[in-house]
Amino acid sequence: MLGGVLGPMLAQGVIARRPRMTALAQRRHLDDRADAILRRMRERYGAGPLRLRVPGRSVALLLDPDDVHRVLRDSPEPFAADTREKRGALGHFQPHGVLVSHGAVREERRRFAEAVLDTGHPVHRLAGTIGVTAREEAARCADLARVTGTLDWPAFAAAWRPMVRRIVLGDAAREDREVSDLLTALRGRANWSYLATRRPDRLRRLRRRLGAYVDAAEPGSLAGLVAAVPAPDRADRVDQIPQWLFAFDPAGMATFRALALLVAHPDVLARVPGDDGTLLRGAVLESVRLWPTTAVVLRDTTAPTRWGGATLPAGTALGVVSSFFHRDPATVPGADRFDPDRWSDGRADDGRTLLPFSAGPVVCPGRELVLLVAAEFLRALLGRATPALTDGPLDAARPLPHGLDPFGLRFAVPPDRPGDGRG
């Protein structure tokens, strides 16, 4: 049971995706099986927290939307976000990140992150510059794809990553692959959590480089805001940046999958030219609903907790397996279909079952920024190129698969398109 549910998630890489394991999981339908196991468990044992036998750790999975609501609402106290597993993993590259903080210092770090990321505002205060950057890099990506005739993950990432460095660190960082490589190397170790030895030398190098961008404070970049937004020393402003850079990686995968969804659904694709951003944001939200980039939202109980008839000991890890809720036919009509409008017409608003960015006080503070960037990128890409899926398991007439390996997606891109030069 434990292996069937958590095994595929761990194997695919929690902090940095492992391409070969992700492809294997898709071929063997391991993600579908994990959800099916949880549904069988809920039928057999009821919707109360499902206690798992894990040596040395009290672990329970939440299977009831009301329990999910309670835990996310009452975070980070008494349901702490800085779980033992996260501290082990993020300690490799971001020991003072908000995600691994608790108590008063968490509040300071969270306040700082929200202030820079403009959490809760659909249009970030730097939306003008950010939009220009996203459109420029997407246009380069589209033009190159029209020359080579294909668009695959390496070609997409080759545009997405420089765009992310420009948005987060400034235009001067566009070619700074070293900063990304340093972070990637540290994240690779983070997949192994406490099992991998720490590399304080690399962490120091990463901090020095990020600190230099904050000192330069390029106007229009998040680094510029980091320099300008006041925060107490212990908020450790520079240490918040690695997560922003790192979280944009799965955001790229979600955007690439959204492109596949759009292309596989011509009726939706036809509405993109007249869209004000609502449809494209909905497409990206559907991408993260169907294939969540955070497979399990985790909390640790900080005190013994009464639940139904039982008491969970302090230090119990509580897990919310997102896809189990996102694809539950009992609560999500058309769970296996692409339906971007559900995010704008109120159907996705119950705050209990559709939680790709989580919810409550620990909700992803980058949500609005990611949706803005992804929508701008997709609009510009589709304005200049007409990609068609050549490979990949998407068929609009059939239920969408539970796993979609972005590394295996491939689009054919013809050299010309009607209305060439627009975008």
Residue 266's identity, in one-letter code, is P
Q: What sign does the dihedral 167-169-141-153 (CA atoms) show?
A: negative
Of residues 50, 183, 241, 254, which one binds ligand HEM by CB under 6 A? Answer: 254
Phi-psi region of 294 (alpha: psi -120 to 50; beta: other; left: phi over 0): beta
Please, which residue, 38 or 362, has the CB nearer to ligand HEM?
362
Tell me the CA distances in angstroms from 35 to 70, 86, 128, 355, 401, one per residue in order: 22, 23, 41, 16, 12
Please, which residue, 315 or 423, has the CB nearer to ligand HEM?
315
Please, which residue, 110 or 189, has the CB nearer to ligand HEM?
110
Q: How far apart are CA 340 and CA 278, in angstroms?
A: 9
Per CB under 6 A, 340 contacts ligand HEM: no
Per CB under 6 A, 250 contacts ligand HEM: yes
Q: Binding pattern to ligand HEM, positions 368-387, x when CB under 6 A?
A: -xx-----------------
Count of residues touching ligand HEM (by CB under 6 A): 26
Which backbone phi and psi does 237 adopt, to 5 degrees? -60, -45
Q: Which one of the spans 10-18, 137-145, 302-310, 352-360 is the region binding ligand HEM (CB under 6 A)?
A: 352-360
Q: Binding pattern to ligand HEM, positions 271-310, x when CB under 6 A?
A: -----------------x----xx--x-------------
Footprint of ligand HEM on residues 104-123 (CB under 6 A)? 110, 113, 117
Asked if 99 contacts 86 with a C-beta cutoff of 8 angstroms, the reply is yes
Rounded (10°) angle between helices 241-264 and 153-169: 140
Of residues 162, 365, 387, 406, which one binds ligand HEM by CB under 6 A? Answer: 365
Per CB under 6 A, 357 contacts ligand HEM: yes
Please, which residue, 148 or 344, has the CB nearer to ligand HEM?
344
- Which residue is nearest to ligand HEM, using beta carbons? 366
Tell me the CA distances in angstroms from 210 to 43, 115, 215, 243, one per residue in order: 50, 19, 9, 12
Please, which residue, 119 or 413, has the CB nearer to ligand HEM?
119
Please, which residue, 116 or 142, has the CB nearer to ligand HEM?
116
Q: How far apart are CA 114 and CA 71, in angstroms?
A: 21
Of residues 22, 83, 243, 301, which one binds ligand HEM by CB under 6 A? Answer: 243
Per CB under 6 A, 99 contacts ligand HEM: yes
Q: Binding pattern to ligand HEM, positions 79-98, x when CB under 6 A?
A: --x----------------x
Shortest distance in whole angstroms from residue 125 CB to ligand HEM: 14
Q: What sign does the dihedral 38-43-46-52 (CA atoms) show?
A: negative
- Quote the DSSP letter at residue 346: S
Q: How far apart are CA 277 and CA 267, in angstroms?
A: 17
Q: How far apart are CA 408 and CA 411, in angstroms?
A: 10
Please, which residue, 365 or 392, has the CB nearer to ligand HEM?
365
Token pair recorded at residue 6? 């958590």
Per CB under 6 A, 324 contacts ligand HEM: no
Asked if 317 contacts 341 with a C-beta cutoff of 8 angstroms, the reply is no
CA 227 to chain centre: 25
Of residues 244, 256, 338, 377, which one binds ligand HEM by CB under 6 A? Answer: 244
Give the interface with ligand HEM as residue ranges (CB under 6 A): 81, 98-99, 110, 113, 117, 243-244, 247-248, 250-251, 254, 288, 293-294, 297, 356-358, 362, 364-366, 369-370
